[in-house]
Chains A and B, each alone.
Chain A
Amino acid sequence: MSKKNLSYILKRIILAILTVWVVITLTFFVMRAVPGGPFMSEKAITPAAQAALEAKYGLDKPLSEQYVTYLKDIAFHLDFGPSLKQRGRMVIDVITDGLRTSVKLGVIAAVFAAIFGIVLGAVAALNRNKFIDKCIMVLTTALISMPTFIIGSLMLILFSVKLGWLPANGETTKGLILPIISLGLYPMSYITRLTRSSMLDVLGQDYIRTAKAKGVSRVMIIFGHALKNSLIPVITYFGPMLAYIVTGSLVVEQIFAVPGIGRAFVNSITNRDYPLIMGTTIVLAALIVIMNLVSDILYKVADPRINLE
């Protein structure tokens, strides 16, 4: 790897760290800007109790000091403080609990999307303008125009309310099937279209013609030459795909009652559990930023021809 690329990667890492810092700062100040502060609740509390609470959580200190403490706690201990509404639980525990389910959901959805997307894309490209290609393109175009919550709700209606094949509750393993499919359909369609267009691009290249002329078998051309090269643009989609899956899981977990981080996040918004909102936002944002970074660097590793800026 050349020096130029190393410096590019370094630059990207610095940008990623900067981004996470911006997210932390933004969440901190945005949350402090809420009128009445985090303890403004439905129940009125006495000024003394309010003061005691604020002293306990360090809210009586100047804002800059609070900020530095908050930043330090996160950077060194991954400590986001206690949850306001879930008594006696730390935010980080709620997050790790939720992540256990959500990561499973997200990873399986991503793998599902990648496998089916690549296969469908390749099939469409190899049967260009034939009936099967048109079917795949119509289907994926339709799926790309549907917001996740609509895909999820329609799946719920069709497979669990009308047909009764799968449970509507996502707390069991079997119940995770519908959420996974709902979450994976959009990225799958995107990958299908991406694979199709890049595969068509590759199939028109000279070296494919050369391989054909040499008498290489069709199977060998597809798997040995075409597929490998046409997957490179797909790698760049991994970062955005994760961002999509994270935001999509917020609604999908809500619809199917999956006990994951997405549901915790949405509930924390409705409950106004500010430390939990902050913690979840920061963790998810960091996850997305890191995945974007990784997919950018992988892109470079996968294809040495690409010269980064």
Chain B
Amino acid sequence: MFNKEKLFSLQQDPNLFLPATDEEKEYMVQMRESSTFFKDGVKRLLKNDVAVVSIIVIIVITLSAIFVPMLWPYSYDRMLGVSPGKQVDNSYNNLKPFEYGETEQAKIDAGEKVFPHIFGTDAQGRDYFIRVVYGTRISLAVGFFASLIVLIIGMLVGSISGYLGGKVDLIIMRIVDIIYSLPDMLMVILLASVMRVALTPIIEGTVLAKIGANIISLFIVFGVLYWVSMSRLIRGQILSLKEQEYVLAARAAGAKGGWIIRKHLLPNCISVIIISTALQIPSAIFTESYLSFLGLGVNAPMPSLGSLASDALNGINSYAYRLVIPAVIISLIVLSLNLFGDGLRDAFDPKLRR
């Protein structure tokens, strides 16, 4: 169609202007829907077997932690041997798995059905299975909310610091540097050990008292100490993003700083935010279980996986399974959250991939 001999001729080839044939039209039809960044990421994530298995494990554990206590006939704080008006029935304490207390055994002998104690009972006659489930629920909730607090504070400080730059950035970043170099665990222990004493009278009688001073102090500590790495990350992202043309365009159109951060900058670092939040949850669960183990975690009789493991140490010679069960669950949760977080990173941030 291209006329080689008359290279500089202005004469057009009329064939180029013919309507397209059906065959040619078909060629132009879009073969598949255009994919968004999010869809691409999900697709990559689903191809990663390890990440899929981990998210299934997480979902199963989370759902059972939420729903099993509703269906279970026992509650986490009821001592089965204690009933009003009667002497304490010690036969309920320290039951082995699938054993029954005296009155329960009598019922079974009479032909009635009694719901089994799958993991037995603890030293005070409480059904151990439901305590483990409840402990899982609390550990997961603490991990989730602590990460949420870290996310909110880190996002706020990081985006402001990155967007404003200059002196504000300098001051915030020096503060971040110092908090970052503080030995976090020691500070957590110090603050948690003092704050639970200081908080107890303050929150008495309010809704917060039900959550317990220890958990609230844990959240405060997280809010004070752990936001720094998140804010550093987001600041770095914002610093590079704010030089983009669309930010200039938005500013030229009269957009205010807050609007630009919310509508333009944060959505563009969403993958970094999601990934680091996902990886924050296991570390929060780690910290909570560690503090519970030291006796600084949840208030008794509320169980958490860490406090269950810690309690189990006393009877380790005869009831080792009581330590192994929470230990396995905690490791499973942390492992699958970590693997899922890695999968998320690979799927949503190809730049970081090795």
Contacts and interface: CB of A to CB of B under 8 A. Distances in A.
Interface of A: 15-16, 18-19, 22-23, 26-27, 30-31, 33-35, 141-142, 144-150, 153-154, 156-157, 161-162, 197, 243, 246-247, 250-251, 254-255, 265-266, 269-270, 272, 277, 281, 284-285, 288-289, 292
A27 to B, nearest CB: 6
Contacts of A142: 331, 335
Given A19-B182, A277-B193, 7 more contacts: A144-B338, A145-B334, A149-B310, A157-B324, A243-B185, A270-B295, A284-B183
B186 A161 contact: no
Closest 8 CB pairs of A and B: A145-B335, A247-B185, A288-B183, A150-B327, A145-B334, A19-B181, A149-B293, A157-B320
B298 interface: no
B227 to A, nearest CB: 16
A27 B190 contact: yes
Given A157-B324, A161-B317, A269 B185 contact: no
A153 B323 contact: yes
B182 A285 contact: yes
Interface of B: 177-178, 181-183, 185-187, 189-191, 193-194, 197-198, 201, 282, 286, 289-290, 293-296, 306, 309-310, 312-313, 316-317, 320, 323-324, 327, 330-331, 334-335, 338-339, 354
Which of B183, B201, B313 has the largest number of chain A CB atoms within 10 A? B183
Contact of B309 (A144, A153, A270, A288): A153
B323 to A, nearest CB: 5
Contact of A161 (B182, B289, B309, B320): B320
Contact of B183 (A146, A156, A243): A243
Contact of B181 (A16, A30, A150): A16
Given A154-B327, A269-B189, A23 B182 contact: yes
9 contacts: A23-B186, A146-B334, A149-B293, A150-B309, A246-B183, A247-B185, A265-B189, A281-B187, A285-B182
Contacts of B313: 153, 255
Given A150-B327, A270-B295, A161 B316 contact: yes
Contacts of A243: 183, 185
B293 A157 contact: no
B331 A146 contact: yes
B53 to A, nearest CB: 13
A157 B316 contact: yes
Contacts of A250: 189, 294
A150 B331 contact: yes
- Dominant SS among interface residues on chain B: helix
Contact of B190 (A144, A150, A246, A281): A281
Contacts of B338: 141, 144-145
Contacts of B191: 30
A262 to B, nearest CB: 10
B48 to A, nearest CB: 15
A285 B331 contact: no
A34 B195 CA distance: 8
Contact of B354 (A22, A145, A197, A246): A197
Contacts of A16: 181
A22 B334 contact: no
B313 to A, nearest CB: 6
Contacts of A15: 177-178, 181
B178 A284 contact: no
Contact of A292 (B178, B181, B190, B289): B181
Contact of A35 (B181, B197, B289): B197
A251 B294 contact: yes
Nearest to B50: A141
A22 B295 CA distance: 26
Nearest to B287: A147
A266 B295 CA distance: 9
A13 B197 CA distance: 35
B64 to A, nearest CB: 20
B197 to A, nearest CB: 6
Contact of A30 (B190, B289, B312): B190
Given A285-B186, A288-B186, A150 B193 contact: no
Contacts of B183: 23, 243, 246-247, 284-285, 288-289
Contacts of B309: 149-150, 153
Contact of A147 (B190, B290, B316, B320): B290
A144 B283 CA distance: 11
A61 B162 CA distance: 44
